Structure 1
Amino acid sequence: MLIQPRVAHARGANEPPLLEQTLPAFFAAMAARQGEHEALVSRHQRLRYSYAGLHRAARQLASALLGLGLRKGDRVGIWSHNNAEWVLMQLATAQVGLILVNINPAYRTAEVEYALNKVACTALVTMPRFKSSDYLGMLRELGPAKLPHLRHIVWIDTPADRDEPAPLLRFSELMARGRADDERIDAIAATLQAGEAINIQFTSGTTGFPKGATLTHRNILNNGFFIGEAMKLAPADRLCVPVPLYHCFGMVLGNLACFTHGATIVYPNDAFDALSVLETVQAERCTGLHGVPTMFIAELDHPRFREFDLATLRTGIMAGSPCPIEVMKRVVSDMHMEQVTIAYGMTETSPVSCQSSTDTPLAKRVSTVGQVQPHLEVRIADPETGATVATGATGELCTRGYSVMLGYWGDEEKTREAIDGDGWMHTGDLATMDDEGYVNIVGRIKDMVIRGGENIYPREIEEFLYRMPQVQDVQVVGVPDRKYGEELCAWIIVKPGQSLTEEAVRGFCQGQIAHYKVPRHIRFVEAFPMTVTGKIQKFRIREAMKSELGLQEEKTA
C-alpha cells in the first residue's frame, strides 16, 4: 500500500475569538476592571503605575499631543530605550489615532533621516542622549532642511534636568499641557477602527535601508493576547521585560501580552544589563522573563548568578534568534522557568506566528518553535515552485491570517514581493513541519551553505557545537571557496575561565558529524556583531571573514 505523505500546512484554533476592539478601548475596559492593580514598574526610573493611573497618564499625554496640532493618521516617532515614557507614547498615540513610529536607538544620522522622512514624521519624542549616542546632537546636525516634515521635537527629561535651560520642549512640560478629561479624546476614539494603522516598525535589513512594516490595532492587540494565552498569563503575573520596546518583542510580547491579561510589566533598566535583570527578578518577585538567547546566556554565566533567588520565575519567552537547545535546558533547570515558551515570528506578522505553550513537552520546546497560533495558518513551501511540501521536508515558512501587516509604508512593490496574491507572507526562513504541526526553523534561505553540492544548515552545526562544555556561544556561516563553492566558518565565544583550541573543536566533530560539516575556519571571539534586539548579524561575520581571508565571492554575468 502506498502511503501518501502529509502536507506541511497547519491551521490554528478558531477559539477564543479574535478581539475586534481598538487598543484604547480594550485598555480602558481593563483599567475600569482592575484600576488599582499594578500595571507598570520602571525600576531604573523608580516609577510605578496602577492600571487606572497609567490610563489617566496616557489620556493626558494624548490630549497634549492633540494640543501640538497633531491629527488622526499623523506619524509620531519614538526614539528611545525602555522607559515609562515609551509605553505612555504607545498608549497615547493609539488613543487618538496617531501612528507610532518605532525608531531604533542604534540609528545614526543617515538612518534616522531616512526613517523620519520615509513615513513623514511630524513629531518625535526622543531621549536626549544615551552612553555615546547624542540623539539631540544628531537631530541638530540634520536640521530642518533634511527633516522637512518634522515640526515638533520633544526630549525625555528627568527630575535632574528640570532646572536646566532647554531650547526644545521637555516631555514633562508636554505632559503638563494635557488633560485626561479632554473631550476631544473620546470623540476621536469613537471614529477609530480595529483595522486602521497604529504602528510602523522598521525591519532590520541586512543590506540597504530598512522597510517600514505597517501594523494595525487588530494585528498587535490580538497577537499580544494570544502570546499571553500561550504563557497562561494572569493578573498575578509580573513579567520582566529587558528586551527593547522599539521592537515587537518588547512592545507586543511584553507590553501587550501583559495588558491583555491584566498582568504587571517590569522594566529592569533602560537597556539590557544582566545584573539588573537578576536583581529585578528577585526584588520584584517576577514570574516571567523575556529574552533572546544571548541575554539568557549572559544571565546564566554572570559571576553573581548564584546569589539571586529566581524561584518565583515560571514562564517567559525565548525568541529573536534560534534558541540553542543546551541554553534552553539551563533556563529550565537553573532559572526555574519550567514553563518557558519559544516564540517565532517576524515584524511583518505582528510578530508571532508559532509558539510553544507552557505544557508543550520539553523535548518539543527545545527542538521546535511550537505550533501555529490561533486564527493563523502556516505552511512550508518549495522555494522554487511555491508548492506546499510534505511534512519533514525543508522549505520556506509562509504565514497567513490576521497578523499579516497592511504592507510596507510607501513601498507597494516590496509589499507585493513579500505578500503573495493569496495573502501568504513569505518569511525567507527555511523550516520543517512534523506530523503534529510542530515547526522547526533550520535557517535563513540566504544563510544556507552549499558546499560541493551538499546543502548545509548552519543551525545544525551550531547545535552540535553547543554540546562542547567550553562553548558559551557559537555562530556558523559560509564563506566563499574556489574548490567547494563555500566552506564553513565557526565563530566561538568560550566560557569564562575555559580554554579551547581549533584542534579540540575539530577533534570533537571527528566521527560525530559528516566531514563536510566540520568547519574549516574556526575563530575565537569576545562577541558577535548584533542588532540592539540581540539578533546576530551573520552577514557582518561573513564580511569580516572574507576580508581576513582575502576572499571575494565569484560574480556571475
Structure 2
Amino acid sequence: MSERMANTIPALLLRAAEDHAGRVAIEDGAVRIDYRDLPARALAVTRALMAAGIAHGDRVAIWAPNCHEWVLAALGVHCAGAVMVPINTRMKGAEAADVIGRSGARVLFVVGEFLGADYPAMLAPLRPDSLDRVVVLPDGTARGLRDGECAWAEFLASGAAVSEADALERARAVCPEDLSDLMFTSGTTGKPKGVMSTHGACVRAFSEYVRVIGLVAGDRYLIVNPFFHAFGYKAGWLTCLIGGATILPHPVFDAEVVFRRIEADRITVLPGPPTLYLSMLAHPRLAETDVTSLRIAVTGAATIPPVLVERMRRELGFSVVTTAYGLTECGGLATICDPTDDAETVAGTSGRAIPGTEVRIVDGDNRPLAAGEAGEICLRGFHVMKGYFGDAKATAETIDAEGWLHTGDVGTLDARGYLRITDRLKDMFIVGGFNCYPAEIEAALTEHPAIAQVAVIGLPDERMGEVGCACVVLRPGRQLDEAGLIAWSRERMANYKVPRFVRFLPALPVNASNKVMKNELRALAGAM
C-alpha cells in the first residue's frame, strides 16, 4: 500500500503505515493504535461514509474535543474524498447549526457530553435539513441515544456493506488539488466564513514545519491545541503523521494535569500559545515535576518577551523554542523562526517565509513598502486558500488580482526577511490563542433587549494576552449590569467570545462618518 509521493493526506497515511509500522500512532488513555493498523481503522470510517452515500466533495463535520476518534473520523473523511468541516467545541447550538447549514454538511460526528454540555441536544432544535446523519462518539458517559442519532460503533458496523478494497480505491483517487477541509473563521462582517484548503498544500507546508522544528519518528506529541484549529490539526496530528511521532490527544488544558502527563507519558513535543507556557512556569509544582523529556516548543498568536523564551529553555528544558505565523486563509503556516535564532528574534518576530511563500508589506494603495516600514502583511504562495466557500465577493476582497492574500494584520519585514507583527488593520483581538472578531460579538450583543448600541474592543490581559470589553449604551429606561450581560452572553456564544468587562457609556465616540473610534474607546475603557 506504499505511496511514495505523499502529496495527499490519504497518501501520507498509507506511507506512514509502511514507514513507521511498529510505532504507536495514537495513544489515548488505554487506546493504542499502531501505525500499521491506522489505515484499516481510518478506512472503516470511509467504508461507513461510502455506505451512507457520501461522495467525493461532500462535506462532513466534526464537533468534538481532542480524542482518537476525532483523528480516525477526519482520516476517514479524507480517504472518502470528502471535505472535513471542523467545528469549534466552544460554539453553542445556533453557531454550530449555522456552520453545518452553510457548509451543507451531510454527516456530523459529535461528542455526546463535554464539559457538562449535551452537544447533540444543543443542536437538535436547530438541526439543518442538509444533515442526514448525526454520529455520536463514545465519551464515557451513560448518555443514551435520541431519535436521529447513531452510535459510533453502529455507524462503523454499517460500513460492512463496502469492501476495504473499494474504500482504498476511493482514497487513492484523491488528488493534491482536491479540498481537504473547510475551516470556518469569523470575519469582520460578523458571519464565519468557510476557508477552502487543499490536500497538497497541507502536506507540503507541514512537511516543511516538521523539518524546521526537528520532529523525528518516536517523538511524543501532547496535543493541547484543539483539533478544530489549524494549530491542533495541521500543526498537530497531521504533523505527527508526517514525522512518525505519537499523537497524544488532550481535551482541556489544565496546568497540573498537563504536568502529570509530561512526566508520566514522557512528552517530548508541546506546542501552544504563550499562555500555556506562562501557566506552566507559574505552577507551584513545577520544581518537583520531571519535565526533562520536553524538547520542542512552538508558540505564536502574540509577541512574547525574550525572557519567556529564555525561561522556557532554562526552566522547562526545551532545546527547541520557536515562533510561527499563519492564519486559516493560508492553511495555518506562512513564516517560522529557525530554532537556532536568538531569544530576541524568536520572541520579537514570527520568522521568515517558508519555501514557496512570499511575504510583502503594502501601504493603503497596495504598494510594496521598504524594509522596516509598517503596513499590511500580504502573502502569496501554494498554500493560500482556494477562497471562501460560497462567497466570491469576500474572496475577491481578500485575494487580489495578483494572488496576494491580504491578511488584515499590520507588520514590518526587516532586512533579513523576518516578519514582525505590530498591529491589526481589522479590529480582531486574540483571547488565549482564539481569534475574536468584534463585529460578530457585537451582532450577538445587540440582540439584548436593554442594549441600544455596543462596541467591542480588546484590552490587554497578563494571562490571556487580550480579553474582550463591551462598551454599551443602554436603551432609555432599561437597566443592565456587568454580571447580567456576561451571564447572558455565556448562554449564547463561545466562552472566548464572551466579554470579560462591560463599560456603560452615555454615547460611543464617533468620527465625522459616524464610525466608532475604537482607539479612543480603548483609551476610555482602559481608564475606567
The bucket for the TM-score relative to the shorter chain is 0.7 to 0.9
In structure 1, runs of 5+ residues without a counterpart are 1-17, 449-457, 460-476, 478-487, 496-528
Q: Give yes or no for the alignment of 1:116 onto 2:100.
A: yes
SS of 1:441's equivalent?
strand
Letter of the aligned partner of 1:554 in structure 2? V
Aligned residue in 2 for 1:418: 398
Aligned residue in 1 for 2:271: 290
Aligned residue in 2 for 1:278: 259
Aligned residue in 2 for 1:26: 12
Q: Give yes or no for the alignment of 1:359 onto 2:343.
A: no
In the TM superposition, what are the counterparts of 1:11-410 in structure 2 within 5 Å? 21-43=7-29, 46-143=30-127, 147-158=128-139, 161=142, 164=144, 166-167=146-147, 168-178=149-159, 182-205=164-187, 208-267=190-249, 269-382=250-363, 384-410=364-390
Cα distance in 1 for partners of 2:16, 2:81 equals 19
The answer to whether the Cα contact below 8 Å between 1:223 and 1:252 also exists between their aligned partners in 2 is: no
Cα distance in 2 for partners of 1:169, 1:153 equals 6
Letter of the aligned partner of 2:156 in structure 1? M
Question: Alpha-carbon deviation of 1:374?
Answer: 1.2
Q: Give yes or no for the alignment of 1:441 onto 2:395.
A: no
The answer to whether the Cα contact below 8 Å between 2:94 and 2:123 also exists between their aligned partners in 1 is: no
SS of 1:317's equivalent?
strand
Cα distance in 1 for partners of 2:509, 2:34 equals 57
Cα distance in 2 for partners of 1:296, 1:28 equals 35
Cα distance in 2 for partners of 1:489, 1:223 equals 31
Letter of the aligned partner of 1:276 in structure 2? V
Letter of the aligned partner of 1:242 in structure 2? V
SS of 1:258's equivalent?
helix
SS of 2:321's equivalent?
strand
The answer to whether the Cα contact below 8 Å between 2:23 and 2:218 also exists between their aligned partners in 1 is: no
Letter of the aligned partner of 1:240 in structure 2? L
The answer to whether the Cα contact below 8 Å between 2:112 and 2:139 also exists between their aligned partners in 1 is: no
| Cα gap change, 1:550 to 1:317, in 2 (>3 Å) | farther
Alignment coverage as a number of residue pairs: 458
Cα distance in 1 for partners of 2:9, 2:19 equals 15
Question: Alpha-carbon deviation of 1:112?
Answer: 1.4
Cα distance in 1 for partners of 2:463, 2:418 equals 32
Q: Give yes or no for the alignment of 1:431 onto 2:411.
A: yes
Letter of the aligned partner of 2:110 in structure 1? T
SS of 1:431's equivalent?
strand
Question: Alpha-carbon deviation of 1:140?
Answer: 1.8
Q: Give yes or no for the alignment of 1:552 onto 2:508.
A: yes
Cα distance in 1 for partners of 2:72, 2:303 equals 31
Cα distance in 1 for partners of 2:459, 2:151 equals 48
Question: Alpha-carbon deviation of 1:193?
Answer: 1.1
SS of 1:352's equivalent?
coil
Letter of the aligned partner of 1:87 in structure 2? V
| Cα gap change, 1:302 to 1:293, in 2 (>3 Å) | same
SS of 1:417's equivalent?
helix
SS of 1:63's equivalent?
helix
Question: Alpha-carbon deviation of 1:319?
Answer: 1.9
Question: Alpha-carbon deviation of 1:261?
Answer: 1.1
| Cα gap change, 1:112 to 1:434, in 2 (>3 Å) | same
In structure 2, runs of 5+ residues without a counterpart are 431-437, 439-456, 465-488, 515-528
The answer to whether the Cα contact below 8 Å between 1:19 and 1:221 also exists between their aligned partners in 2 is: no
Name the % identity: 30
SS of 1:178's equivalent?
helix
Cα distance in 2 for partners of 1:275, 1:433 equals 39
Cα distance in 1 for partners of 2:411, 2:215 equals 28
Question: Alpha-carbon deviation of 1:165?
Answer: 5.8
The answer to whether the Cα contact below 8 Å between 1:59 and 1:181 also exists between their aligned partners in 2 is: no
The answer to whether the Cα contact below 8 Å between 2:10 and 2:172 also exists between their aligned partners in 1 is: no
SS of 2:72's equivalent?
helix
In the TM superposition, what are the counterparts of 1:498-537 in structure 2 within 5 Å? none
Instruction: For residues 340-378 of structure 1, give each alpha carbon's deviation from its aligned partner in whole angstroms, at most 9, with x where no partner exists.
Output: 110110001011100012222222112111111111111
Question: Alpha-carbon deviation of 1:66?
Answer: 1.0
Instruction: For residues 156-183 of structure 1, give each alpha carbon's deviation from its aligned partner in whole angstroms, at most 9, with x where no partner exists.
Output: 1246549x56542111222233359522
| Cα gap change, 1:332 to 1:551, in 2 (>3 Å) | farther
Cα distance in 1 for partners of 2:509, 2:43 equals 55
Instruction: For residues 29-73 of structure 1, give each alpha carbon's deviation from its aligned partner in whole angstroms, at most 9, with x where no partner exists.
Output: 110122111111123xx3221111222210111111111121111
Cα distance in 1 for partners of 2:19, 2:124 equals 45
SS of 1:380's equivalent?
strand
Cα distance in 1 for partners of 2:505, 2:310 equals 36
| Structure 1 vs Structure 2 CA RMSD | 2.9
Question: Alpha-carbon deviation of 1:207?
Answer: 5.6
| Cα gap change, 1:489 to 1:346, in 2 (>3 Å) | closer
| Cα gap change, 1:346 to 1:175, in 2 (>3 Å) | same
Letter of the aligned partner of 1:251 in structure 2? Y
Instruction: For residues 247-289 of structure 1, give each alpha carbon's deviation from its aligned partner in whole angstroms, at most 9, with x where no partner exists.
Output: 100000111211111111222x322222221111111211110
Cα distance in 1 for partners of 2:354, 2:183 equals 22
| Cα gap change, 1:491 to 1:160, in 2 (>3 Å) | closer
The answer to whether the Cα contact below 8 Å between 1:293 and 1:324 also exists between their aligned partners in 2 is: no
The answer to whether the Cα contact below 8 Å between 1:225 and 1:256 also exists between their aligned partners in 2 is: no
Cα distance in 2 for partners of 1:401, 1:75 equals 25
Cα distance in 1 for partners of 2:19, 2:461 equals 51
Letter of the aligned partner of 2:318 in structure 1? M
Cα distance in 1 for partners of 2:74, 2:495 equals 23
Cα distance in 2 for partners of 1:113, 1:71 equals 22
The answer to whether the Cα contact below 8 Å between 1:63 and 1:178 also exists between their aligned partners in 2 is: yes
| Cα gap change, 1:535 to 1:317, in 2 (>3 Å) | farther
Question: Alpha-carbon deviation of 1:19?
Answer: 6.5
